[in-house]
Amino acid sequence: MKADAKLGPYRAELDALDTRLAELLAARLTVCARVAELKRAEGIPMMQPDRVARVRESYADRGRRLDLDPGFMRALAELIVAEACRIEDEIIDGQCR
């Protein structure tokens, strides 16, 4: 049996997981857009540094619990927060960082 045939089921499983990850990220960013709309309506500053720090650390904590590298999880949180910030910036029309 060729290597590709042996890898096929794993690749299909990874593809399905990647789809789920993308769907979850889309859902999270949709909530972020609603948060931005509320911030704009209520005059709440876009950047909430304490919240960003808590999110980053909660990702690291989840990583530790799931035996994932906390540094990787913090970096992932940074990417997600950066995209959320970009979306909020578009909605609020402010500065992201």
Query: Scanning the structure block, which residue is given the tokens 């799931």?
Result: 66
pLDDT tens readout for residues 12-45: 999 999 999 999 999 999 999 999 999 999 999 9
| Tally of domains in the chain | 1
Query: Scanning the structure block, which residue is given the tokens 């042996």?
Result: 6
What amino acid is encoded at 50 in this protein? D
Return the pLDDT at 3.
84
Residue 50 belongs to domain with CATH number:
1.20.59.10
Return the pLDDT at 94.
62
What's the pTM? 0.85
Q: What residues contact 30, with CB distance under 8 A and at least 6 apart?
A: none
d(CA 55, CA 71): 13
By the 8 A CB rule, do 80 and 25 touch? yes
Range of the domain at 38: 3-92
What tokens appear for 23 in the block? 């769907």
